[in-house]
A = this chain, B = another copy of it.
Amino acid sequence: MAQKPSIPKGTRDFLPADVARRSYVINTIKTHFERYGFLPIETPSMEKSASLLGKYGEEGDRLMFHVLNSGEKVKKADIAALSENKLGRFTQSISEKALRYDLTVPFARFVVQHQNELSFPFKRYQVQSVWRADRPQRGRFQEFTQCDADVVGAVSPVLEAECIQLFDAVFHSLHLKDATIRINHRSILSGIATYLGAPDRITDFTVALDKLDKIGAAGVFDELKQKGFGEDALKKLNPLIALSGSIDEQLDSLESLLSAQPLAIEGIAHLRDVLRFLPSLHVSNLAFDLTLARGLNYYTGIIFEVAPPKTVAMGSIGAGGRYDDLTALFGLKDMHGLGISFGLDRLCMVLEELDLYPTTLQQTVDVVVLHFGDAYMQDLIPYIEKCRAAGLRVMTYPTNHKLKKQMQFANQSNAPWVFFYGEEEQKEGVLSVKNMRNGATNIITLDAFDATVLST
């Protein structure tokens, strides 16, 4: 194979520096998930196709990665389906499993399957890869990591307030200031649709509304007109999209505008309940956003979306909401759910762009031990052992290369300490320890060697 090897489009190799950064973010998220009482679970990468197909709409079915049946089973290929261009049927004739498309549907399947082993309310978190055959582009990959926290089996504004606090706590730890946590409520959107005289056209209405930021009020109105909304409806909409002031003030205005819409009033009251449980946030802004209308095919209550700081041109870095029917897909009714998700890849890109990664991540080795010959190295083994037992990460240079080459390696490794032990040191029974941060060399008697002083 003369050609340089490569990996499938939309997938990535992570070099040590990448893994260090990703682990830092993942560990931060996990730590806070646990502080909010979420417990970790994991589900298989492959689910039965029957568990996934039809759960994500047409687009999901199209972008799902199917795993071919093994061995002789591919003989069952439905050639007729292929020639009739029934690609879905053909696929199902040779594939019974698909790669996880998100973490939510597998979680619903998990809850139903293990309901007798769990105690409810059940709070779980899950940090795993998902796969989508999407066209790769900046920030969009065919394999990427989702970090989800969900609670099922309870309805309470406390839980929703905690979702908002959790977003904030994670951003605080990551030193990411000025993210905006936008909230809305499905019932408010439904109430508005009714108010506009189009209760069954909530999707048309929200799709247009969602573009307010990009195309302005006039653009939204044009689009709604084209979709058949009348002048009267648009006039009613005008004050709704012009809401201003604090969240409380906006909810007050909304309440008086929509006073005749019980659904909307219910949604407003619910958001107020949530705000009662919310102490001031550390680093994020909370915003009520009437144009936020994501996941309307599954969210039934509050909806969250988190935008990165305005200085970064990037889509949402977090999202979530309440859903009340998810496990019903697997035969378990009345299991209320609420969840949030962090987009790891985008979050990493935002931290990169804002240069927020701690410099300590660059230190992946603490000590490099130079090699002056096997006889010298042999003497050092017990002391290297002591360093490792004290928790230090030690790279023993394996061969007696030229000192220049070894020092080059030590420099690149970014280790703060380098050990020299050659003829001189052996004769004196000492170790030369170079502090790579300030260039000073200390001579340490081997008898008095104490690894713990190096960990500071």
Contact = CB atoms under 8 A, between A and B. Distances in A.
Nearest to A411: B119
Given A113-B13, A279-B385, A391-B35, A8 B97 contact: yes
B121 A398 contact: yes
Interface stretch (A68-76, A240-248, A249-257): A68-76
A23 interface: yes
A440 interface: no
Interface class of chain A by DSSP: mixed
A265 to B, nearest CB: 19
Nearest to A388: B35
Contacts of A75: 82, 85, 87
Interface in A48-69: 48, 50-51, 62-63, 65-68
Given A65-B70, A154-B398, A119 B374 contact: no
A63 B71 CA distance: 8
A167 to B, nearest CB: 14
Interface in A103-137: 109-110, 112-114, 117-119, 121, 123-124, 129, 131, 133
Interface stretch (A155-163, A288-296, A427-435): A155-163
A13 B44 contact: yes
A156 to B, nearest CB: 4
Given A5-B109, A156-B399, A331-B3, A119 B44 contact: no
A6 B113 contact: yes
Interface residues of A, number: 115
A208 interface: no
Interface in A70-98: 70-72, 74-75, 77, 79, 82, 85, 87, 90-91, 94-97
Nearest to A169: B388
Contacts of A378: 276-277
Given A65-B70, A391-B35, A82 B79 contact: yes
Instruction: Point out which of A40, A159, A371 has the most chain B C-beta atoms below 10 A from its C-beta.
Output: A40
Nearest to A160: B398
A153 to B, nearest CB: 9
Instruction: Point out which of A45, A46, A398 has the most chain B C-beta atoms below 10 A from its C-beta.
Output: A398
Contacts of A388: 32, 35-36, 169
Contacts of A67: 65-68, 99
A446 interface: no
Given A65-B70, A330-B5, A37 B394 contact: yes
B34 A396 contact: no
Interface in A396-424: 396-399, 409, 412-413
A397 B20 CA distance: 35
Contacts of A2: 331
B20 A40 contact: yes
Interface of A: 1-8, 11-16, 18-20, 23, 32, 34-37, 39-48, 50-51, 62-63, 65-68, 70-72, 74-75, 77, 79, 82, 85, 87, 90-91, 94-97, 99, 109-110, 112-114, 117-119, 121, 123-124, 129, 131, 133, 142-143, 151, 154-159, 161-162, 165, 169, 273, 276-279, 329-331, 364-365, 371, 374, 377-378, 381-382, 385, 388, 391-399, 409, 412-413
16 contacts: A5-B48, A5-B112, A5-B113, A5-B331, A8-B96, A11-B44, A13-B110, A13-B114, A16-B41, A19-B42, A35-B391, A37-B394, A39-B364, A67-B99, A74-B82, A158-B398
**Which 4 A-B pairs have CB atoms at the shortest separation, nearest pair first?**
A37-B395, A11-B44, A156-B398, A16-B39
